[in-house]
């Protein structure tokens, strides 16, 4: 996806100190949009899904995107809608999905710095998560009904993000991106069957290292020559960790096997792949994030193709 933000050009010599600061703020309000959209987690398609899970799958997919609804040069606050859908196609005769995960919510982004390449901003939002089923969540024996059982929860999410873009050389540059946050579920309506053993309060941290290449393609020779400058994200390494801090029936405060979710993933894009990547991931779910399967905990690996709103920009000169 290409994104272009038009910002009027002028020099500091033409402006008073007060006007110069005002101009910087207006520019930052628009340019920070690039950070908001590129920090959305990648979507992916994965044959066999999480290899190591108790259930076997044919194909798993997660689709995430962002709709920037409000972005204005007048305000340091932006608003976006964030939809996310996850489906796991089961390895059985009907190849059923059973209970897909639907997430939908909105988030406000509060710009805290003036530099879009050394950025800082806060997030506050509200999310809904359900699985499209309306049957009883529990079977008669107390186990979870993973076929038709209802799952739903609503939660507040808050986070602080910061990062830095570091030009390195003509052949590439890097960015370092961090996120610390918290999810709070108990404040709103949820499926009552999960009240004793679900991770209602979860602390999260994410680190993302991204590398970009820059190239110039000559379109003509001689005095009329011009170039297309292409910036493309070549690879991304993500490290994610989350920890449930609330009381969970049968588990102590330091029961890592039930409370900790952790994943490391690497995404590599060949020159012909546009904004898509080959993906490999390894991780551990103390609480499976796939709706009513949350009691499952296991180690896994995942392979496939990922994609997102990565940096792929062109500029002519």
Position 2 in a domain: no
Residue 99's closest CA among 305, 308, 298, 293?
A: 293
Position 83 in a domain: yes
Q: How many C-beta atoms surround the C-beta of residue 35 within 10 A?
A: 21
pLDDT in tens, 158-174: 999 999 998 876 667 89
Q: What are the backbone dihedrals phi and psi of residue 27, each rounded to the nearest 5 degrees, phi first?
A: -60, -45
- For residue 30 the two structure tokens come to 């628009």
Contact between residue 229 and residue 212 where contact means Cβ atoms under 8 Å apart: no
- For residue 27 the two structure tokens come to 């520019």
pLDDT in tens, 118-132: 999 999 999 999 999
Q: Whole-structure pTM over 0.85, yes or no? A: yes
Position 114 in a domain: yes
Predicted confidence (pLDDT) at residue 314 exceeds the cutoff of 50: no
Position 1 in a domain: no
Position 15 in a domain: no
Instruction: Say which CATH number the domain at 228 has.
Output: 2.40.230.10
pLDDT in tens, 194-219: 999 999 999 999 999 999 987 655 44
Phi-psi region of 186 (alpha: psi -120 to 50; beta: other; left: phi over 0): alpha
Domain carrying residue 240: 22-316
> Average pLDDT, whole number, for the chain?
89
Position 214 in a domain: yes
């Amino acid at each position: 996806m290409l994104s272009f933000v038009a910002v009027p050009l002028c020099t500091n010599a033409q402006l008073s100190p007060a006007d110069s600061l005002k101009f910087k703020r207006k520019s930052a309000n628009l340019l920070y949009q690039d950070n908001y959209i590129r920090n959305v987690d990648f979507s992916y398609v994965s044959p066999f899904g999480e290899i190591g899970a108790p259930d076997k799958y044919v194909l798993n997919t997660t689709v995430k995107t962002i709709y920037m609804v409000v972005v204005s040069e007048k305000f340091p606050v932006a608003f976006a809608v964030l939809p996310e859908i996850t489906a796991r196609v089961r390895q059985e005769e009907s190849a059923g999905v059973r209970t897909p995960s639907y997430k939908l919510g909105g988030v406000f982004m509060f710009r805290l710095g003036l530099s879009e390449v050394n950025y800082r901003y806060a997030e506050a939002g509200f999310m809904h998560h359900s699985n499209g089923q309306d049957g009883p969540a529990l079977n008669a024996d107390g186990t979870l009904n993973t076929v038709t059982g209802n799952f739903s929860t609503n939660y507040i999410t808050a986070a602080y993000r910061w990062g830095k873009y570091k030009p390195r050389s003509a052949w590439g540059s890097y960015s370092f991106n961090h996120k610390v946050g918290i999810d709070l579920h108990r404040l709103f309506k949820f499926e009552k069957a999960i009240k004793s053993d679900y991770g209602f309060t979860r602390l999260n941290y994410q680190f993302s290292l991204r590398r970009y290449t820059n190239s110039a393609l000559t379109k003509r020779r001689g005095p009329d020559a011009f170039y297309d400058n292409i910036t493309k994200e070549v690879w991304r390494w993500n490290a994610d960790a989350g920890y449930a801090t609330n009381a969970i029936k049968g588990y102590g405060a330091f029961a890592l096997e039930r409370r900790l979710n952790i994943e490391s993933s690497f995404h590599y894009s060949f020159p012909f792949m546009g904004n898509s990547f080959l993906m490999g991931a390894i991780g551990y779910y103390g609480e499976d994030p796939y709706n009513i399967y949350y009691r499952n905990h296991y180690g896994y690996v995942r392979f496939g193709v990922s994609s997102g709103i990565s940096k792929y920009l062109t500029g002519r000169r």
